[in-house]
Amino acid sequence: YGLDIEDGDIIVITSKILSVALGRLYDLNSVKPSFLARLLSRFFKEDARVIELILREGEPIGVIPVLKIERLLHLFERYSVSNEQRRKALARAPYLFLVKTKYLILTDAGLDFSNVPPGYCTLPPKDPDEVAKEIMLEIQRRTGRKVAVIITDTEFEISRFGSRDIAIGCVGITPVSKKFGAPDLYKKPKFGGVDLIADAIASMAGLLFGQTAESTPVVIIKGLNIPRSHEGIKDVSYLRINRAMIRVILFLILLETLKLKLLLSLARLFGKYK
């Protein structure tokens, strides 16, 4: 398209095209499910071969009964191209497993059936940060330009209905802004300034990628002045914290939440809070 790669460009790439290039495309007929996968398949009405691939990628920590929720709330009905297509899509994925991978929590461990032949699926690169680094270095070797690289995947939002592209790997820019405590307009230290830069860029690129048959796997973003960094997504992931410390943090959150609930209940009891 006549675009030259320049210093400071941000190359955003969908994980799907990298999965295919890196041999992470799977023929389900070649997958032999384990006993655990077959057991889970009976309860969650999912292909045992699919569950086997999910189990190989990480540790399931939760499950979302998508079809049951849809029957109650009809969330997808409003945004579907047709009721027939909605029913077919939901029948293929009645549940979504929340899976802890190397340093991310992904639905179905990132497993995806879209834009691959029937009977095949893809999984994201094992180490997206490392893949992003390899691509960045290869671009620099070939062009002499210093660029950043972000690898994206699509995930559903927890706090609202819908999905968006997130960064699952990056290199060359700081993934999170480092302005916590910086003074605001009134010289007060800001409780904030830790913007998810890589995710924001991934979401912006996702508008151009599309989610169905657009066939746009790479977006080049120019003109953004983002501080350079060798940090990746793994460096800002909570999953890097050891399990003992996570348990302490969860206990503290639970303790403070119980204190809040107790105080609110007392306030309601004495008519001071509605």
3-37 as b/e: b if 16+ CB within 10 A: eebeebbbbbbbbbebbeeeebebebeebebeeeb
pLDDT at 158 (0 to 100): 79
Q: Quick check: is 45 in a domain? A: yes
pLDDT at 9 (0 to 100): 96
98 and 71 assigned to the same domain: yes
102 and 226 assigned to the same domain: yes
Residue whose entry in the numeric block shows the structure tokens 């939901």: 90
pLDDT at 1 (0 to 100): 57
Residue whose entry in the numeric block shows the structure tokens 């800002």: 236
The number of folded domains in the chain is 2
171 and 250 assigned to the same domain: no
Q: Quick check: is 211 in a domain? A: yes
Per-residue pLDDT of the chain in tens (274 residues, 90 and over written 9) = 567 899 999 999 999 999 999 999 999 999 999 999 999 999 998 999 999 999 999 999 999 999 999 999 998 998 999 999 999 989 888 999 999 998 899 999 999 998 899 999 999 999 999 999 999 999 999 999 999 999 999 998 878 899 999 999 999 999 999 999 999 999 999 999 999 999 999 999 999 998 777 778 999 999 999 999 999 999 999 888 888 888 899 899 999 999 999 999 999 888 776 6
Q: What domain range is 70 assigned to?
A: 10-240
Q: Quick check: is 215 in a domain? A: yes
51 and 88 assigned to the same domain: yes
95 and 138 assigned to the same domain: yes
CATH code where residue 142 lies: 3.30.1330.100
Instruction: Write the DSSP symbol of residue 211.
Output: S
pLDDT at 274 (0 to 100): 67
pLDDT at 132 (0 to 100): 97
Residue whose entry in the numeric block shows the structure tokens 């302005």: 179
